[in-house]
Structure 1
């Protein structure tokens, strides 16, 4: 039986599961997947759905531990030449210490593991929102720009990417991917959790179709909400990760022509069939309103309000050049909002909390 050459964190998460399928399809198996003990049963079930052979090897562990929780088994990965690090806390309301433990120290531990294996390639999934509230156009060349951050998620992903870029500068062959806000599949609408823009969709659907009320923030007319579907993100990572010319590069996986916040609300109105009325409300009042609604069981998250007046615009010149001849491009958000809404209506019980 052949030994695993690829090591993956973030399985059985939403992106990790889809990427694992692509890696196996192109012949990169067997793949060793690090799985937290509490998700091991779910991982076994998901692995059985993906492959009926031994091409997926599951190992209990935890990136928050220095040896990834592998114990003596950490020495058994001499065959690994490539690491994909996707595991993180994807939660806008995450507490500081937990975000530090997973996103920062966890990434440092995975980097140490990769270097101990002497890997040929480290593939790291970051986020466009390392930008924080950068006021202007943020490209792949930007990182530390003196920006403020909306939350601990953004700040700790920024700190984690700084660690990755430092190791890259020191000689670890690395490719960094920065997705924007990831939503469901552009064709099927399938998603693993309802967060981010889904709070808008769910709030609209929870109200009468004749009159659904949302708040808008003063000065948000020109702000963009940059969303990307899962299939684009996975297609792009799968394509870029197999090429030698993408080593030591950063790729922002964003929509180069995103909708403004008002245009996105118009698309939501059309997709849901609801008459949506947007009321201008100060940000502080909107956050208190979201907190009150959440306490009463409504689908609301105060942390999402910060993205309705987000000052940053994202550009992806590296990504567009690298994918120019592949046929892979981000579809316009308006073209798949219907699919997201249909999936939400058909699967109302999908969780909202992050896997962490």
Structure 2
């Protein structure tokens, strides 16, 4: 059955590619944007066969005239880990309330795009379930997304929650329209500006290709009857070792291989002043992600959609690096593969 779907945050990386997937499947898609009056997929191509409306999630009813929809896919969010508290509350929590208000007026089901890292500081197996009370978070962004999930669950709107992990380039060619902020950590190492990398032994990051995430969100939007009330992890089949990522930059002959040290042994005082300043910013923003080992179950998502995440192995990492080189995001021209 073809659906009438509103996608918020459609100018963003995930929202734009979700729109592309839904349009390709024949659905009627309305893309809500705040300033940019165009919507592009992950390949950068501008989408046609799509309606565009201007809106702002911080306004009541998002500032959009009510119209009937089958599903509202709420991708709009502030993604900065260190954004001011008032911004995160206004956009991620208040904005979700306003989007729910709109969905209820439109008679729509509500698919909320959250993050797998609402797990906070928990390690071990993370179930596809509501965030437990008392969960501690590593930054205000995680906390705001968990709070927004709670708003959704108690609102009375028919809902499902999609939880992508760390979204990177597509599985086939590493293509990504906009590089996420975490990539800057590895860009600094590739440029030799960060020579030491604090990561706990066994720490992992869950990295997932954007095609799996956008395809998964589109599949959930199509199956909201079955998905209703559920939480779904859009994650890798296996996480990536943090140390593997750090050494991954050395897969390019021109890139230095950073020294990976235990966080307790890391001493920024011995670094050059410029590197120390960069490292302090990097660790302050992302450091906690290199000390944890959450294992995200995606059994419920796989059972419902039948979708399996493509391999996130060294070959995929090579494709990500190659694309970064091609785009000029990484400062080298020649890729040298390692075995394994």
TM-score by length of 2: 0.84
Q: How many residues align?
A: 325
Deviation at residue 45 of structure 1 after TM alignment: 7.3
Residue 21 of structure 2 aligns with which residue?
22
RMSD: 3.1
3-state SS of 1:188 partner? coil
Tell whether the 8 Å contact from 1:272 to 1:341 is kept in structure 2 after alignment. Answer: no
Verify: 1:105 aligned to 2:85, yes or no.
Answer: no
Aligned match of 1:245 in 226, 250, 263? Answer: 226
CA pair 154-309 structure 1, distance change in 2 beyond 3 A: same
Residue 63 of structure 1 aligns with which residue?
57
Verify: 1:189 aligned to 2:174, yes or no.
Answer: yes
State the alpha-carbon separation in 1 of the partners of residues 279 and 121 from structure 2. 30
Tell whether the 8 Å contact from 2:239 to 2:295 is kept in structure 1 after alignment. Answer: no
Flag structure 1 segments of 5+ consecutive residues without an equivalent. 351-356
Aligned match of 2:204 in 203, 224, 230? Answer: 224
Aligned counterparts, 1:249-268, within 5 A: 249-268=230-249
State the alpha-carbon separation in 1 of the partners of residues 272 and 294 from structure 2. 23
State the alpha-carbon separation in 2 of the partners of residues 18 and 136 from structure 1. 31
Deviation at residue 280 of structure 1 after TM alignment: 2.1
State the alpha-carbon separation in 2 of the partners of residues 32 and 287 from structure 1. 52
Flag structure 2 segments of 5+ consecutive residues without an equivalent. 331-340
Q: Which moved more, 1:238-247 or 1:294-303?
A: 294-303
CA pair 306-292 structure 1, distance change in 2 beyond 3 A: farther
CA pair 44-157 structure 1, distance change in 2 beyond 3 A: closer
Deviation at residue 274 of structure 1 after TM alignment: 3.4
Residue 9 of structure 1 aligns with which residue?
8
State the alpha-carbon separation in 2 of the partners of residues 236 and 269 from structure 1. 32
Aligned match of 1:116 in 100, 105, 113? Answer: 105
State the alpha-carbon separation in 2 of the partners of residues 115 and 288 from structure 1. 57
3-state SS of 2:60 partner? coil
Aligned match of 1:277 in 258, 279, 282? Answer: 258
Tell whether the 8 Å contact from 1:19 to 1:234 is kept in structure 2 after alignment. Answer: yes
State the alpha-carbon separation in 2 of the partners of residues 340 and 231 from structure 1. 13
TM-score by length of 1: 0.81
State the alpha-carbon separation in 2 of the partners of residues 287 and 125 from structure 1. 40
Aligned counterparts, 1:92-241, within 5 A: 92-119=81-108, 121-167=109-155, 170=156, 172-207=157-192, 213-217=195-199, 220-241=200-221
Tell whether the 8 Å contact from 1:254 to 1:314 is kept in structure 2 after alignment. Answer: yes
Aligned counterparts, 1:326-337, within 5 A: 326=307, 328-337=308-317
